[in-house]
């Protein structure tokens, strides 16, 4: 009896080893997608159409990241329920230093709890739809529900430090967005990535290849790179990032960006972990 138990543990161990180190799956991802809640997004950025486009691109994983809000995350998650695509609820926060940070979570309640923090730190300004565009809130079934009349696409009172620390404390990941861009990026606005911050990696924009980013920003050598579409229209969604993960969780993404075990990140087919 005891011998059988030993064999069982041995088989389990062997299976785990094989899964983690030999047959860990690959996932293609675009982790920066805006919906109609972002004033600058096109009216076509609706859950069904985003998922259809993700399917055409062969994406396994997308993240919904509207400016300073996660109000359309429920609709995106709901629309993805009958598909093979995983949607991470998230947000693109604009800090008081005018730095854009992707905040990614596994579960909707985490994103909504984070949204409360962000909303409490938004200046009390009204959106001007004629200037900036409408901010359309969708019901869970994807139908237009209302307009958010606060100005969402503006700087919050939160610092880069505060966002990184609090998002991590809530079980999420904070990744500086489009670091190569001359505006709204951590490099452009702070001049560097503060090394004491818990940032698992950085995002490069569609304007630059991973190779050029490595050459242009040697200070980013300690960070793994991901590349996303930052899509405000369907044609801007991209399939540039491939992840080797044990599961589709943000914790696994952090491990992959750090190059832990057999996990890994590739951008445009090039290994893009820390160098
Ligand atoms: Zn941005
Ligand atoms: Zn964006």
Q: DSSP secondary structure string, 234-256? A: GGG----EEEE-SSSSHHHHHHH
User: What pLDDT score does 7 carry?
Assistant: 81
Distance, in Å, from the CA atom of 244 to the CA atom of 3, rounded to the nearest integer, reads: 36
Please choose, from the candidates 79, 82, 30, the residue with its C-alpha nearest in 3D space to the C-alpha of residue 59.
30
* Cα(76) to centroid(ligand 2), Å: 16
Token code pair at residue 83: 């598909």
DSSP reduced 3-state for 216: helix
Give phi and psi for 29, each to the nearest 5. -145, 145
What tokens does 166 get?
A: 């609090």
Cα 23 to averaged position of ligand 1 atoms, centre (Å): 35
In this structure, the dihedral spanned by the alpha carbons of residues 251, 253, 255 and 258, taken in order and rounded to 10 degrees, is -140
* 164 pLDDT tier (thresholds 50, 70, 90): very high
pLDDT tens track for 184-230: 999 999 998 998 998 999 999 999 999 999 999 999 999 999 999 99
pLDDT, tens only, 115-160: 999 999 999 999 988 888 899 999 999 999 999 999 999 999 999 9
Does the pLDDT value for residue 20 go beyond 80?
Answer: no
In the predicted model, what is the mean pLDDT of the chain? 94
Distance 13 CA to ligand 2 centre (A): 42
DSSP states of 198-214: ---EEEE-TTS-HHHHH
Cα 177 to averaged position of ligand 1 atoms, centre (Å): 6
Nearest Cα neighbor of 142 from 77, 64, 236 is 77
Q: How far is the CA of 17 from the centre of ligand 2 (A)?
A: 38
Give residue 229 CA to ligand 2 midpoint distance, Å. Answer: 8
Which ligand gives the minimal distance to the CA of 231? Answer: 2
Please state, in angstroms and rounded to a whole number, the distance separating the CA atoms of residues 68 and 271: 31
Query: Are the beta carbons of 272 and 224 closer than 8 angstroms?
Result: yes
Task: Tell me the pTM.
Answer: 0.91
The strand pair at 86-94 and 100-104 is best described as antiparallel
Q: Which ligand is nearest to the CA of 100?
A: 1
User: What are the domain boundaries of the chain?
Assistant: 26-271
Residue 163 near residue 68 (C-beta atoms within 8 A): no
CATH code of the domain occupying 26-271 = 3.20.20.140
Burial class (CB in 10 A: 0-12, 13-18, 19+), 84: exposed
CA of 35 to the centre of ligand 1 (A): 13
């Amino acid at each position: 009896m005891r011998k059988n138990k030993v064999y069982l543990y041995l088989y389990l161990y062997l299976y785990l080893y094989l899964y983690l180190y030999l047959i860990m799956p690959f996932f293609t991802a675009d982790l920066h997608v805006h919906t109609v809640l972002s004033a600058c997004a096109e009216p076509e950025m609706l859950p069904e159409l985003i998922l259809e486009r993700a399917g055409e691109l062969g994406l396994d994983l997308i993240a919904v990241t509207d400016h300073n809000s996660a109000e359309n995350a429920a609709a995106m998650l709901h629309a993805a329920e009958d598909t093979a695509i995983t949607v991470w609820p998230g947000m693109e926060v604009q800090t008081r230093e005018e730095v854009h940070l992707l905040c990614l979570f596994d579960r909707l309640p985490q994103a909504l709890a984070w949204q409360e923090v962000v909303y409490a730190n938004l200046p009390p300004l009204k959106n001007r739809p004629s200037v900036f565009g409408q901010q359309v809130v969708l019901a869970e079934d994807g139908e237009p529900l209302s307009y958010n009349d606060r100005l969402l696409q503006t700087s919050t009172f939160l610092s880069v430090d505060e966002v990184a620390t609090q998002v991590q404390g809530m079980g999420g990941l904070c990744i500086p967005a489009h670091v190569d861009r001359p505006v709204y990026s951590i490099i452009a606005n702070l001049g560097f990535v503060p090394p004491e911050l818990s940032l698992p990696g950085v995002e490069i924009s569609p304007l630059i290849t991973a190779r050029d980013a490595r050459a242009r920003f040697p200070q980013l050598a300690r960070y793994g790179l991901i590349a996303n579409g930052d899509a405000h229209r369907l044609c801007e969604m991209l399939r540039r990032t491939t992840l080797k993960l044990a599961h589709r969780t943000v914790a696994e993404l952090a491990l992959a960006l750090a190059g832990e075990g057999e996990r890994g990140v590739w951008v445009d087919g090039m290994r893009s972990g820390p160098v």
